[in-house]
């Protein structure tokens, strides 16, 4: 393992309770993310340094951009929907866990073939009688369950050649790899790919151009870069304990954006972690991949 050459160059100090779901739009030159608990979507245009934000009717776990459409495809806490930031219009498509108490939608993304995925998490284990799942939104707007018995669905990303899907269950500290059929979206041969260190819970993740996986590790004050065979290559120490999601972006796709959280931190911890809740921007020696757009 080598020492990271990744450097913090800026922070967008928005004070997020639970910043999450960060993605880069290479066509507009803006980074987007959500504060789940405060029901806010953010957009930061890098060149102009312009920050915009919109309130949402429910908490947003993740979102994606849509081909030839200004709306977003969103996993609200209760299900999949189209969302128009400017008008506030919501068109729900599927609510597969409408009858399940104690879960909500969380992490997800658009795959390289233009399909939208999102998983659920157990939010209230006292009343939940079923574990969370990972879903694929079908072309007919049905939610197809692909993985079940999940505690907190996280870290969904795909290898550059779309042959492998990665998915995490945060409390179990496990990152899984599945064989992925890019044509059908079917997965098989699920296995534990990485077991993270004690106290380091794998949260949001992304893949770089070399096929390496980056995992923001909640509670561990770090983002870790792993090789495609699961070896730990780089550890980026974070100035906060709760890094929640990571994405590449910028004109050359060599910037790393990391969302963070203030949730459940004591006043003492917040006084020591002055950047908790900020969007952190790093210059890296690596390059990411363009975020795919959802295809209607």
Domains of the chain, by residue range, sit at 2-283
Q: How far apart are CA 9 and CA 225, in angstroms?
A: 19
**DSSP 3-state of 270:** helix
Helix (H) or strand (E) holding 122: strand 116-122
Instruction: State the CATH class of domain 2-283.
Output: mainly beta
Q: What is the pLDDT along the chain (296 residues), one digit of tens a residue?
A: 555 678 999 999 999 999 999 999 999 999 999 999 999 999 999 999 999 999 999 999 999 999 999 999 999 999 999 999 999 999 999 999 999 999 999 999 999 999 999 999 999 988 888 899 999 998 889 999 999 999 999 999 999 999 999 999 999 999 999 999 999 999 999 999 999 999 999 999 999 999 999 999 999 999 999 999 999 999 999 999 999 999 999 999 999 999 999 999 999 999 999 999 999 999 999 999 999 999 98
Phi and psi based region of residue 92 (left: phi greater than 0; alpha: psi -120 to 50; beta: remaining): beta
- 17 contacts 277 by C-beta, under 8 angstroms: yes
Contact 16, 259 (CB under 8 A): yes
Question: Which sign, positive or negative, has the C-alpha torsion 268, 269, 270, 274?
Answer: positive
H runs (alpha helix) in the chain: 267-272
CA dist., res. 164 & res. 7, Å (int): 29
For the whole model, what pTM was predicted? 0.97
Cβ neighbours for 90, distance < 8 A, ≥ 6 positions apart: 57, 76, 81, 82, 83, 84
């Amino acid at each position: 393992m080598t020492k990271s050459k990744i450097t913090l160059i800026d922070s967008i100090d928005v004070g997020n309770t639970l910043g999450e779901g960060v993605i880069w739009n290479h066509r507009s030159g803006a980074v987007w993310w959500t504060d789940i608990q405060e029901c806010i979507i953010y957009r930061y245009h890098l060149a102009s340094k312009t920050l915009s934000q919109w309130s949402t009717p429910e908490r947003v776990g993740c979102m994606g951009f849509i081909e030839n459409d200004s709306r977003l495809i969103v996993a609200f806490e209760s299900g999949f929907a189209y969302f128009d930031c400017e008008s506030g219009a919501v068109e729900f498509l599927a609510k597969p866990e409408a009858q399940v108490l104690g879960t909500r939608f969380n992490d997800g993304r658009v795959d390289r073939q233009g399909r939208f995925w999102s998983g659920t998490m157990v939010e209230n284990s006292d009343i939940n009688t079923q574990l969370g799942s990972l879903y694929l939104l079908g072309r007919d707007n049905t939610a197809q369950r692909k993985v079940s018995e999940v505690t907190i669905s996280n870290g969904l990303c795909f290898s550059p050649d779309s042959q492998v899907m990665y998915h995490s269950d945060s409390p179990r500290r496990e990152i899984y790899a599945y064989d992925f059929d890019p044509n059908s979206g079917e997965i098989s041969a699920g296995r534990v790919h990485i077991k993270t260190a004690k106290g380091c819970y794998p949260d949001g993740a992304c893949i770089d151009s070399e096929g390496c996986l980056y995992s923001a590790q909640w509670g561990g004050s770090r983002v870790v870069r792993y090789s495609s065979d699961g070896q730990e290559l780089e550890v980026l120490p974070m100035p906060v304990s709760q890094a929640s999601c990571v994405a590449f972006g910028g004109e050359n796709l060599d910037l790393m954006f990391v969302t963070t959280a203030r949730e459940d931190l004591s006043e003492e911890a917040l006084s020591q972690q002055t950047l908790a809740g900020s969007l952190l921007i790093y210059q890296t020696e690596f390059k990411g991949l363009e975020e795919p757009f959802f295809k209607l």
